[in-house]
Amino acid sequence: MDALHACLLVLATTVPGANFRTENFVVTAPTQEFAQQVGEAAEHYRRELAHVWLGREMPRWDRPCPIFVKVGDYGAGGATSFNFDRGEVYGWKMNVQGTAERILDSVLPHEVNHTIFACYFRRPLPRWADEGAASLIEHDSERMRLRKIHEQVLRTTRKIPLQQLLPMREYPSETQQVLTLYAEGYSLADFLIQLRNKQVYLQFLGMALKSGWAPALDQFYGYKSIDDLEHDLDQWILAGSPDLNSPDGAMLALSHHMPRSQSPVIRGQSESLPSIELGLANAFPPASVPHPLPRTESATIREGLEQPVATGFEPQPTRQPRRQLTVPVHVVTTTRTREFDPSFSPR
């Protein structure tokens, strides 16, 4: 494992402190008070984000997700890992670090959003799609930093072309390109969601995983090619990423004329327990689901098997005990890359 990924995964000694358990999370933090804040905030985000993306709450997980918290003057960051096996998602583990404020209003909702997408798709997503959607929920300062990075690389060789970005399943090896992936993923997710809505975004990703990017772009956004989308995205960034629902944003010359979603963009920031103002869920679920992956495939991203997740998150009719499961199809680690303290890790 290279130095970058060792830093991102952040595995070492212990996280001392107090524990607090909720229905779906077990938090280890420096103090009992903050452990409770994080646990209650995680449940809040899990509930509200599921409503926003999926139109309903998710059922309780079989086992709670451990959250290991390190609070201090550290770069805000986090990492979440989970396993997929034949449509099951399990083995949650989450690490978050930073100031108390940034943990609550940026890192935690970002990481919880990864679990929402994992439960829905049950198979690995391209990095931009997952990280981009999760970054939409962060504090204004975090999102502005990503937007600035995208503006800086737009006309340089550091820009990742969409033909390369769309199918990318692994983080780039260079730190700067990891940040570029986050920035471009955030912009692209924001752009597509503003063109339509969050539920169409999920439908689009599901079809793209099954049938390819070009057909999915044509069906859901009216783009005849990836190059056409890239042109409009670049023009939007150069114009300062205007709100596409506003009169000024509507003046942006796009190559197609898609209906604009009227639902608010996801936001979630607070100095204490977050109170997210989230858009109302639109008509859902999508009509199709991603195709299954071979049981022998492994990766460092996410997902598993075609399931009727479009109808909800009902438990599978028959579940094998954990000890009888095969080696996971995917062991997925998602990261929120900023500045990590290499000494931070659970047992």
Instruction: Provide DSSP, 118-157.
Output: HHHH-B---HHHHHHHHHTTS-HHHHHHHHHHHHHHTTST
Question: Is pLDDT at 7 greater than 80 in this prediction?
Answer: no
Q: What is the mean pLDDT of the chain?
A: 75
Helix and strand numbers (H, E) in the chain are 12, 6
Cβ atoms of residues 242 and 249 within 8 Å: yes
The letter for the amino acid at 2 is D
Kindly state the DSSP code that residue 276 receives in the 8-state scheme: -
pTM: 0.72
Quote the Cα angle for 285-89-201, to 5°. 30
What CA–CA distance (Å, rounded) separates 74 from 338? 9
Parallel, antiparallel, or unpaired: how do β-strands 88-98 and 65-71 relate?
A: parallel
Please name which of 88, 101, 43, 85 lies closest in space to residue 67, comparing C-alpha atoms. 43
Parallel, antiparallel, or unpaired: how do β-strands 65-71 and 25-29 relate?
A: parallel
> What is the band of 195 on the pLDDT scale with cuts at 50, 70, 90?
very high
> What is the band of 105 on the pLDDT scale with cuts at 50, 70, 90?
very high
What are the residue ranges of helices labelled H in the chain?
3-9, 32-54, 100-102, 108-121, 127-135, 140-153, 162-165, 175-195, 198-211, 213-221, 226-238, 247-250
> What is the band of 332 on the pLDDT scale with cuts at 50, 70, 90?
low
> What is the band of 86 on the pLDDT scale with cuts at 50, 70, 90?
confident
**What pLDDT, on the 0 to 100 scale, is given for residue 12?**
34
